[in-house]
Amino acid sequence: MLELIVISTLNGVLFGMLLFLMASGLTVIFSMLGVLNFAHASFYMIGAFFGFQLSRWFGFWPALVIAPVLAGALGAAVERYGLRNVHKNGHVAELLFTFGLAFAIEEIVQMIWGKSPVDYRVPASLDFPAFTIFSTNYPAYKMFMLLVSIAIFAALLVGLKKTRIGMIVQAALTHPHMVGHLGHNVGRIFMLVFGFGTALAAVAGVIAGPALVTQSNMAGLLGPILFVVVVVGGLGSLPGAFIASLLIGLLQTFAVSMNGSLASVFGPLGPGHTLLADIWNVTVAQIAPILPYVLLVLILTFRPMGLLGTRET
Amino acid sequence: MRKMMMTAILAIPLFAGTAMAQDTLKIGYIDPLSGGGASVGEVGLKTFQFLADEVNAKGGILGKKVEIVPLDNKTNPQESLIQAQKAIDAGVRYLTQGNGSSVAAALSDFVTKYNERNPGKEVLYFNYAAVDPILTNDKCSYWHFRWDANSDIKMAALTNYIKDTPTVKKIYLINQDYSFGESVRTQAKAMLAAKRPDIEIVGNELHPLLKVTDFAPYVAKIKASGADSVITGNWGQDFALLLKAAADAGLKVNWFTYYAGGTGGPTAVKQANLNHQVFQIAEGLPNLGHAPADAFEKALRAKYDFSLFYPRAVNEMRMLAVAAEKAKSIDPVKVAAALEGMEFEVYDGGKGFMRKDDHQFFQPMYISSFGERSDKEPFDEEKTGWGWKLVAKLDADKTVLPTTCKMDRP
């Protein structure tokens, strides 16, 4: 039992941190530009595929650096030449633009790399068990993923709170005109932030690609849950996104490890109630995939600004 | 109206080919060519194309060239019906599909209704891999033929083997959350209770179909349960990722599977270092030493760089040719009549027969384990160096189970 708890905690934290890597970019972009970027998960996918291709050519470590830079540049270009023009037509147009972009990216990825999963492997230097707890091995690569995520979270927090750039970015958030009058190029800041946000998603893609599956529908699988993270954490709140990511990671992992159902708590229903009996016998593990969305509904009902959000939405 | 227009628009590229389609026999291949099932869908497609080439090289069926029309259904029943309609509009009279019993049930229903409404334009549905028993029992259809052994037949064979393996004491069941996974787990429970009541079922899990990207939480649970064996009907990425997670965690148990040989499966087994601990029930395997099968296997590998995962597809295609020649027509109604009750020398050797009552094909079945090879096993899998080894064989008559099918015949 203890073994299950420890391993589930590790797995949950890991999944949560990966979510955070993506959600942080999304939430920063949202709070700065007011754009809910539907294509954010697509940049995660681009990161994974770039990582795969570049690690073929140059090895994993160069890929870990180059792929996010390329994806970030792509993101910046999307902001500069796409979003900025669309922006004039209001929020709905922006939303539709990123929505369409997500589909376009998926199609392009399918054209280049095909529809089936690509053979993206864990680098040999990290392909060993890091440690063994209660006879279960924990892979070194997963440990590496965890460390990278934590390092980026720390850097992000320090960068935004303690540095000059962070201050300007934060100020541009709430008072873009004032920042502009102070001589900063707000347009360029927006472009860089968008690029940086997408690069963060790409980092998550490069490191998650070998551990999970790298294929053309991976963005579609992760996209919806990202929005849950951002909304539950509070739109625009970085610490909120962090807490929500961990919460959802742990929630899903622990839900999978639970066998309880209503029947095991209250006793099985007699025959004859087939429809009810189905609901009665569903285990927590079976509904694990929908739990984050239940959480989303609850949060929107009882605390619409999210856990750490400051403004009413 | 809009739906009709959509269908018409979707069909335009296919219509272009119908003018010259008179001397071809088109087979619509409806299976996932994208998403989580794509890896198995693509292998299936290439296998059928290889088989079509084989038939065409011998002059085709009744002089008509066989053409495989690939249609991507994304493992989605709704999408499959759109693709089926699209294919039929383009002149396809034979559909084949295999991955996903939920898809198969929808297609079987669709084809049955279509044939009722369009006499003279009947369509046949050849199922090469969807093994939910209901398709040849309560929901059987005259227009549906199944070449794979159904899930109950496979489970009966697996549990017979487990019955004689005293080291198996605690079993964990993990399956995909849809009709097929449900039928695997209920049959496993029922048959084990009857044959080995001393075996304890320490877990009985369903997980979302083709949506899980990391099985680590499930593997942690299997480990915590103390199981010594796992039974799973998982296929496609769900099998490969399950084994991958097991390899990462160092989980060492016996695996009784339906589809360990699917794309990525052998690689994952090798990585987990489960030498002859993964068993598969199937209608054939490389390394049986049947000379014609060995020649076929060599030719397929030379062309496509993968091994034959669907001996049943070979049987399907060859039986179609024989049935059409027997009926002297490629009209689906006549071919269906010829297929009923047909006996056939199967790909891996031995007799099989298409049972008239429910259109279920019965054939010799094999349980094999995957691991290091001796001189008797020339073929490896996915360049792992490991290969399949036969552990048990059942003749076709030993696999026959009763059916509840009450078929409406035209």
B221/A110 CB distance under 8 A: no
Which residue from A minimizes the CA distance to B178? A286
What 3-state DSSP class applies to B95?
A: strand
The letter for the amino acid at B98 is G
- When scoring A115, A216, A282 by the number of chain B Cβ atoms within 10 A, the one with the most, hence best to mutate, is A115
pLDDT at res. B318: 95
Longest dimension (CA), chain B: 65
A11/B221 CB distance under 8 A: no
B207–chain A nearest CA distance, Å: 6
Which residue from B minimizes the CA distance to A138? B249
Closest Cβ opposite residue B211 in set A117, A221, A259 = A221
A47–chain B nearest CA distance, Å: 17
pLDDT at res. B234: 95
Closest Cβ opposite residue B39 in set A116, A136, A285 = A116
Q: Say whether pLDDT at B134 is over 50.
A: yes
As beta bridge partners, residue B365 has: B394
Q: What is the pLDDT of residues A41-50, one digit of tens each?
A: 999 999 999 9
pLDDT at res. A270: 55
Whether A260 contacts A285, CB under 8 Å: no
pLDDT at res. A109: 94
pLDDT at res. B18: 44
**Candidate from B38-42, B202-206, B343-347 with smallest mean pLDDT:** B38-42
Q: What is the pLDDT of residues B278-313, one digit of tens each?
A: 999 999 999 999 999 999 999 999 999 899 999 999
**Candidate from A260-269, B48-57, B378-387 with smallest mean pLDDT:** A260-269
In this prediction, residue A135 has a pLDDT band, given cuts at 50, 70 and 90, of confident
pLDDT at res. A169: 81
**Candidate from A26-35, B333-342, B395-404 with smallest mean pLDDT:** A26-35
b vs e for B21-46, b when ≥16 Cβ sit within 10 Å of the residue's Cβ? beebbbbbbbbbbbbbbbbbbbbbbb
A116/B42 CB distance under 8 A: yes
- B343 vs A: CB within 8 A: no
Which residue from B minimizes the CA distance to A219? B35
Report the alpha-carbon distance of residue B321 to residue B312 in Å, rounded: 14
pLDDT at res. B309: 93
DSSP-H helix ranges across chain A: 2-33, 40-58, 60-78, 84-87, 91-113, 140-162, 164-174, 176-181, 186-208, 218-233, 238-256, 262-266, 274-281, 284-287, 291-302
- B22 vs A: CB within 8 A: no
B220/A129 CB distance under 8 A: no
Report the alpha-carbon distance of residue B76 to residue B83 in Å, rounded: 10
Mean pLDDT value of segment A122-139 = 86
- B398 vs A: CB within 8 A: no
Q: Say whether pLDDT at B10 is over 80.
A: no
B120–chain A nearest CA distance, Å: 37
Q: Of A163-167, A169-173, B108-112, which has the strongest mean pLDDT?
A: B108-112
B214/A15 CB distance under 8 A: yes
CA distances (Å), origin A104, targets A97, A101, A200, B10, B26: 10, 5, 20, 20, 32
B362–chain A nearest CA distance, Å: 32
* pTM for this model (two decimals): 0.87
Residues of chain B with pLDDT > 90, as a percent, come to 81
As beta bridge partners, residue A282 has: none
Radius of gyration of chain B (CA): 21
Closest Cβ opposite residue B34 in set A115, A135, A136 = A115
Residue ranges of E strands in B218-342? 229-232, 254-257, 278-282
Mean pLDDT value of segment A301-305 = 90
B248/A137 CB distance under 8 A: yes
Tokens matching residue A174? 């709430």
Which residue from A minimizes the CA distance to B251? A136
Residues of chain B with pLDDT > 70, as a percent, come to 95
Report the alpha-carbon distance of residue B168 to residue B166 in Å, rounded: 5
Mean pLDDT value of segment A147-158 = 89
Q: Say whether pLDDT at B328 is over 90.
A: yes
CA distances (Å), origin A233, targets A24, A149, A230, A305, B31: 10, 18, 5, 8, 40
Closest Cβ opposite residue B177 in set A8, A117, A286 = A286
Assembly ipTM? 0.86
Mean pLDDT value of segment B154-177 = 94
pLDDT at res. B290: 93
Number of A to B CB contacts under 8 A, please give it. Answer: 91
DSSP-H helix ranges across B22-178: 38-57, 77-89, 101-117, 151-163
Q: Say whether pLDDT at B20 is over 60.
A: no
The letter for the amino acid at B359 is H
Report the alpha-carbon distance of residue B341 to residue B337 in Å, rounded: 9
Q: Say whether pLDDT at A236 is over 50.
A: yes
Q: What is the pLDDT of residues B200-239, one digit of tens each?
A: 999 999 999 888 888 999 999 999 999 999 999 999 889 9
Residue B1 DSSP one-character state:
-
Which residue from A minimizes the CA distance to B211? A221
Whether A67 contacts A202, CB under 8 Å: yes
